[in-house]
Amino acid sequence: MVDQDGDNGDRTVAPDRRPNTMDRFADVEGLVRTEQLNDRMGIVVTDWTPDRLVATMPVKDNRQPYGLLHGGASCVLAEALGSIAAAMHAGPERAAVGIEINATHHRAVRDGLVTAVCTPVHAGRTLASYEVAISDEQGARVCTARLTCILRPSAPARQHS
């Protein structure tokens, strides 16, 4: 993201999607932190609305020994988007915690970027489930995942001694 000094200090949210402070979903920046797994995997959130969250991830550095996109990397991408979407749905008073994920890997991909589109299946008071469709650069479906999160009251921040 481009900060006020013009520096690109955070690459986990695309610069052209930086929300203004009035945006209800501005907190996506707080949900996508640097120096976490999402950053290491190269996941970049490119678009978000209440009904859709989109991100990309490079295949490079996320391959298994046969040179294909690692299935676990697809699951990380799916869980990242589903968790962010659930946290935005939950709001600041509740925490979204993943309790189940499943994924079907449809085809192999060897290079380029994959794009994930996360949409709600159910967004309730205590549970939220999301489908995440991951496609290659040609638009072919690579993986379909589903994540369910429980929405719990937020715990107070811990004090570190």
Task: Give per-residue pLDDT as tens, 41-88.
Answer: 999 999 998 899 999 999 999 999 999 999 999 999 999 999 999 999
* Residue 157 binned pLDDT confidence (cut-offs 50, 70, 90): low
**Summary mean pLDDT of the chain:** 83
**Alpha-carbon gap, residue 93 to 27, rounded angstroms:** 13
Write down the pTM of the prediction.
Answer: 0.80
Tokens standing for residue 150: 């429980």
Q: Which residues contact 33 (CB under 8 A, 6 or more apart)?
A: 12, 39
**3-class SS at 17?**
helix
**Alpha-carbon gap, residue 5 to 1, rounded angstroms:** 11
Distances (CA, A) of 25 to 21, 34, 40, 57, 85: 9, 18, 23, 21, 10
Catalytic residues: 79
Region 131-141 average pLDDT: 98
